[in-house]
Chains A and B, each alone.
Chain A
């Protein structure tokens, strides 16, 4: 009933047209499948949660260049001033900001002796105080926070307690509980640091690094001339605070630069900019490619209809219904689409393989070519059905007049 035999014989009689369509479908499937795979992979990356109350938290830096300023006491004083401003919920000084693209990272060692010493995976280092967890809105799932009197002020060598992320704990200690373990800076015995708590999630500064979900919070407020502050505030108050914080700090001491106010949401946008750019350009490509393929197909079908006017008229005169004419073109299209889709799928997998070995892209999942072919079937149906319905209206009398 699908008249496959006459369709195939007709396709074979005039090979170049259908062959070109076939090539086009094959290439389209290969490109669209790989492009949409890359797009969905990037969107997945962008969607990863940071664990931070992003819309409420922002950071800025203070640069104290006046030698009369004593960083240790000035920093405490500055935090006090900031915490008292309207709209501020919490504020801490920190060694780095999540998703900011720059900061500190390191690995530690653990084990009972030099012989069974192991290295932890690389982790981001946040040096801060007991208010860090509440300022960022982190979720403490095991153990406890630092007590205020456990926080040291000074250099990184003072760190003695650590709060780690769940992912770091799992990758380092497996199923053993992390709380109560001791890690060392360098060799076993060097600067012991006891893990006292685990937070559910806290991302590092580098979204393209494997250490993204491994963070360690250490109980030291680093007080350098260059200081980074994290503030949590009511969303509505943030814009105003960008003005009132520098004003308040300059009133306290004018000889310093207060600059670089950025919300975590803004950090997120800029740190994922390249991924978004890639996803956008590829989406544009996919849409245009599908448009071109369907327009090309529609053009070819229209041409075919004109060429086959007489044939269609004859068939109509011999009793073919309008529906038969439309389904003739549709079946022809589906045949091409399925063959092209099958071959295109194979090439898509090959192309994916190439991209995977040449560049650090993950392996193409098979669902992508399949969805692409399905989508192409729907799209080409529309592209075919419009001119085909026109063809079905051809009156047998006119079409056969000159025979």
Chain B
């Protein structure tokens, strides 16, 4: 029966090509706009930590004086980072920040390049599930004692060592030799949730060096360095002892019990610091946020995206109302034909489902065309605005979402016209035949 209705629907569409085309166009543009904005929204709000989202926690401390900042800062001071590292509660933890270093190799023909570098502890790789191609992170011992070890990306490995297994070789960073201990596969989580303070959609770093080298090598911080009070910072040591917030801190706490324990530990730490004369704010506290909470806290999804999705849904409603009107016009025009079918024995249910199949077909065509619009719109936006690839790609789920929204929206719009047509009294239309 379905295929017979499909055939009828096709014939009916061919009979009124202009109206049908208008409907397909209306729904496809509605779907196209909705899918475009939904796609940008989805790509911007995806949680890249996946299942581990609820086990990874960013640590924040309200360490400022009263009458300075109102809110808890997303970064912490160096001295707090060093103190937090002493906690034995988390399975893994890392203090970190971003810097940049000049890269050279032992090959004199390799002209120096400036690369973004992440300064972190060895746990960084396990916490964020970074896949290794060769080698492994540096040892725990390096985290406490310092050591010139480096982990590099696959891309840099190709650039500097021609893609061979470079573990054990030497990479020169700012004129200092570092031993390569690991090469990671290309890894670029989007949004870059582990460090959102320099833009959440930037490329991730190509080079990773031990945090323990920071006081020795005096790495600059390429990121926000926020001070709530004025301090004279003349050298790196002043910076390490200052109240400036510039270090990010992440922990892995796998069970709720562990999270509870860590919160308790943080509370004690805050009290201890208060006794030492720091943390004078009445709301002084430590906070932990899992990845999902962290992304909301940092407004990773821009408000613009939400406004766009809202407006595009309204837009889709306009398209549906438009389609409803056109369907009504089209179906009522066909009333005499329906009258004949009813007179020779078609049930109301049959008439109703026949029309819904037709509407569904129109919706499906609209959905497919809409996907094409969305794809075109995204590539247009990507080329004009230099969007990162991750934001402009049509998400796979959209291949399913678009036709489903289109068909169901069309059917919602079609119910009333189909009901109208199947409930009209056939005799009225038979009279004039």
Name A residues whose Cβ lies closer than 8 Å to a Cβ of B. 16-17, 20-21, 23-24, 27-28, 30-31, 34-35, 38, 63, 65-67, 155, 157, 185-187, 190, 224, 226, 255-257, 259, 270, 273-274, 276-278, 280-282, 284-285, 288-289, 291-293, 295-296, 299-300, 303-304, 306-307, 355, 359-361, 402
B102 and A273 contacting across the interface, CB-CB below 8 Å: no
Top 8 closest A-B pairs, CB basis?
A186-B230, A303-B329, A296-B322, A65-B102, A20-B325, A257-B114, A359-B303, A65-B174
B315 and A295 contacting across the interface, CB-CB below 8 Å: no
Other 14 A-B pairs with CB < 8 A, given A20-B325, A292-B29, A303-B19: A24-B322, A31-B315, A186-B229, A187-B230, A226-B100, A226-B220, A270-B386, A278-B308, A281-B381, A285-B33, A285-B315, A288-B315, A296-B322, A355-B307
Q: Which of these, B22, B220, B318, contacts A289 with CB under 8 Å?
A: B318
A101 vs chain B, min Cβ distance (A): 8
**Interface residue? B140 (CB, 8 A):** no
B214 vs chain A, min Cβ distance (A): 16
B-chain residues with CB within 8 Å of residue A17 when the two chains form the complex = 325, 328-329
A24 and B307 contacting across the interface, CB-CB below 8 Å: no
**Interface residue? B75 (CB, 8 A):** no
A63 and B318 contacting across the interface, CB-CB below 8 Å: no
B37 and A281 contacting across the interface, CB-CB below 8 Å: yes
B29 and A257 contacting across the interface, CB-CB below 8 Å: no
**Interface residue? B175 (CB, 8 A):** yes
B-chain residues with CB within 8 Å of residue A282 when the two chains form the complex = 308, 311
A271 vs chain B, min Cβ distance (A): 12
A-chain residues with CB within 8 Å of residue B321 when the two chains form the complex = 20, 23-24, 27
B306 vs chain A, min Cβ distance (A): 7
Closest Cβ neighbor of A224 among chain B residues? B220
Q: Taking chain B's interface residues, is the majority helix, strand, or loop, or is none over half, making it mixed?
A: helix
Given contacts A31-B315, A303-B333, A293 and B322 within 8 Å (CB-CB)? yes
B381 and A361 contacting across the interface, CB-CB below 8 Å: no
Mask of B209-220 contacts with A, CB within 8 angstroms, 1/0: 000000000001
**Interface residue? B164 (CB, 8 A):** no
Mask of B282-315 contacts with A, CB within 8 angstroms, 1/0: 0000000000000000000011101110011011
B-chain residues with CB within 8 Å of residue A277 when the two chains form the complex = 304, 381, 385, 387
B-chain residues with CB within 8 Å of residue A16 when the two chains form the complex = 328, 416, 420
Closest Cβ neighbor of B101 among chain A residues? A65
B232 and A31 contacting across the interface, CB-CB below 8 Å: no
**Interface residue? B25 (CB, 8 A):** yes
Task: Please report the C-alpha to C-alpha distance between residue A30 and residue B317 in the assembled complex, in whole angstroms.
Answer: 12
Counting residue pairs across A and B whose Cβ atoms lie within 8 Å, the total is 137
- Sample (15) of A-B pairs whose CB atoms are under 8 Å apart: A20-B321, A20-B322, A20-B324, A65-B102, A65-B175, A155-B234, A226-B100, A274-B302, A277-B387, A278-B308, A288-B29, A293-B318, A295-B22, A299-B325, A360-B303
Size class of the contact patch on chain B? 35 or more
A63 and B102 contacting across the interface, CB-CB below 8 Å: yes
B384 and A280 contacting across the interface, CB-CB below 8 Å: yes
A259 and B114 contacting across the interface, CB-CB below 8 Å: yes
A-chain residues with CB within 8 Å of residue B385 when the two chains form the complex = 273, 276-277, 280
Given contacts A190-B230, A289-B315, A360-B303, A257 and B102 within 8 Å (CB-CB)? yes
A296 and B33 contacting across the interface, CB-CB below 8 Å: no
**Interface residue? B36 (CB, 8 A):** yes
A301 vs chain B, min Cβ distance (A): 10
Task: Please report the C-alpha to C-alpha distance between residue A288 and residue B113 in the assembled complex, in whole angstroms.
Answer: 47
Q: In the complex, which residues 8-53 of chain B have their Cβ closer than 8 Å to any Cβ of chain A?
A: 18-19, 22, 25-26, 29-30, 33, 36-37
Task: Please report the C-alpha to C-alpha distance between residue A278 and residue B229 in the assembled complex, in whole angstroms.
Answer: 37
Closest Cβ neighbor of A281 among chain B residues? B308
B189 vs chain A, min Cβ distance (A): 21
B17 vs chain A, min Cβ distance (A): 12
Task: Please report the C-alpha to C-alpha distance between residue A322 and residue B53 in the assembled complex, in whole angstroms.
Answer: 70
**Interface residue? B112 (CB, 8 A):** yes
Give the one of B19, B315, B318, B387 with max A CB within 10 A: B318
Given contacts A295-B25, A299-B19, A256 and B314 within 8 Å (CB-CB)? no
Closest Cβ neighbor of A288 among chain B residues? B29
Task: Please report the C-alpha to C-alpha distance between residue A17 and residue B324 in the assembled complex, in whole angstroms.
Answer: 9
B115 vs chain A, min Cβ distance (A): 9
Task: Please report the C-alpha to C-alpha distance between residue A47 and residue B408 in the assembled complex, in whole angstroms.
Answer: 43
Give the one of A67, A257, A284 with max B CB within 10 A: A257
Task: Please report the C-alpha to C-alpha distance between residue A303 and residue B330 in the assembled complex, in whole angstroms.
Answer: 8
A-chain residues with CB within 8 Å of residue B330 when the two chains form the complex = 303
Q: Which of these, B307, B315, B326, contacts A359 with CB under 8 Å?
A: B307
**Interface residue? B377 (CB, 8 A):** yes
Q: Which of these, B26, B232, B384, contacts A292 with CB under 8 Å?
A: B26
Task: Please report the C-alpha to C-alpha distance between residue A340 and residue B307 in the assembled complex, in whole angstroms.
Answer: 24
Give the one of A20, A66, A256, A307 with max B CB within 10 A: A20
Task: Please report the C-alpha to C-alpha distance between residue A49 and residue B34 in the assembled complex, in whole angstroms.
Answer: 35
Given contacts A23-B321, A155-B234, A190-B230, A31 and B314 within 8 Å (CB-CB)? yes
B-chain residues with CB within 8 Å of residue A31 when the two chains form the complex = 311, 314-315, 318
**Interface residue? B270 (CB, 8 A):** no
Task: Please report the C-alpha to C-alpha distance between residue A228 and residue B18 in the assembled complex, in whole angstroms.
Answer: 62
A16 vs chain B, min Cβ distance (A): 6
Given contacts A278-B304, A281-B37, A289-B315, A63 and B114 within 8 Å (CB-CB)? yes
B326 and A296 contacting across the interface, CB-CB below 8 Å: yes
Given contacts A31-B318, A65-B174, A67-B175, A300 and B326 within 8 Å (CB-CB)? yes
**Interface residue? B402 (CB, 8 A):** no
Task: Please report the C-alpha to C-alpha distance between residue A274 and residue B37 in the assembled complex, in whole angstroms.
Answer: 14
Task: Please report the C-alpha to C-alpha distance between residue A67 and residue B172 in the assembled complex, in whole angstroms.
Answer: 14
A65 and B112 contacting across the interface, CB-CB below 8 Å: yes
A-chain residues with CB within 8 Å of residue B112 when the two chains form the complex = 65, 255-257
B164 vs chain A, min Cβ distance (A): 25
B-chain residues with CB within 8 Å of residue A30 when the two chains form the complex = 314
A-chain residues with CB within 8 Å of residue B151 when the two chains form the complex = none
Task: Please report the C-alpha to C-alpha distance between residue A307 and residue B36 in the assembled complex, in whole angstroms.
Answer: 38
B29 and A281 contacting across the interface, CB-CB below 8 Å: no
B-chain residues with CB within 8 Å of residue A186 when the two chains form the complex = 229-230
